[in-house]
Amino acid sequence: MTKNSKQILELINASSEHYTAEQIYQKLQKTSSKMAMATVYNNLNSLYEQGLIRKVTMEGESARYDKLLRHDHLVCRNCGKIWDLNLGDMTGSIEEKSGVKIDSYDLKIFYLCEECKKKES
Ligand SMILES: [Zn+2]
Ligand SMILES: [Zn+2]
């Protein structure tokens, strides 16, 4: 793994945020390793292809990158903010109910976050 890849991977693993490529680029500008935007994109793609990070995609939004550790997502349907939620690994029970062997699943639970609730009322 290259030094750049390693640095990006560490940034993603250390954070509970769900950064877009743009945000990762901006974070790296504040450190000693200033990477070009294209370098950030290339490294993110290679980390994803190697199965070292997850990609969270939402319609009409840039992809966000996330750590591999099994967890699910609570997503605000208004502002799109993502929170980690750990419901445990449901692979076993999904396989039991569906009768098929699954590779992976991606669960997004939509709700209205506190801030958006305040704005609406
Ligand atoms: Zn919200
Ligand atoms: Zn997450």
pLDDT at 93: 95
pLDDT at 104: 85
Residue 98 Cα to ligand 1 midpoint, Å, equals 33
Instruction: Give dist(CA 102, CA 6) in Å, integer.
Output: 30
Residue 43 Cα to ligand 2 midpoint, Å, equals 19
Could you report the per-residue pLDDT of 7-24, keeping only the tens digit for each? 999 999 999 889 999 999
Ligand nearest to the CA of 74: 2
Instruction: Identify the structural domains of the chain with CATH numbers, from first to last.
Output: 3-66 (1.10.10.10), 72-120 (3.30.1490.190)
pLDDT at 108: 92
> What's the average model confidence in pLDDT over 80-107?
93
pLDDT at 101: 96
Ligand nearest to the CA of 54: 2
Residue 73 Cα to ligand 2 midpoint, Å, equals 6
Q: In what order do the strands lie in the sheet with 64-66?
A: 19-20, 64-66, 54-56
Beta-bridged to residue 83, according to DSSP, are 74
Band of pLDDT at residue 32, cut at 50, 70 and 90: confident
Environment of ion ligand 1 (residues, CB < 5 A) = 76, 78-79, 113, 116
> What's the average model confidence in pLDDT over 3-10?
94
Instruction: Give dist(CA 100, CA 102) in Å, integer.
Output: 6
Residue 84 Cα to ligand 2 midpoint, Å, equals 5
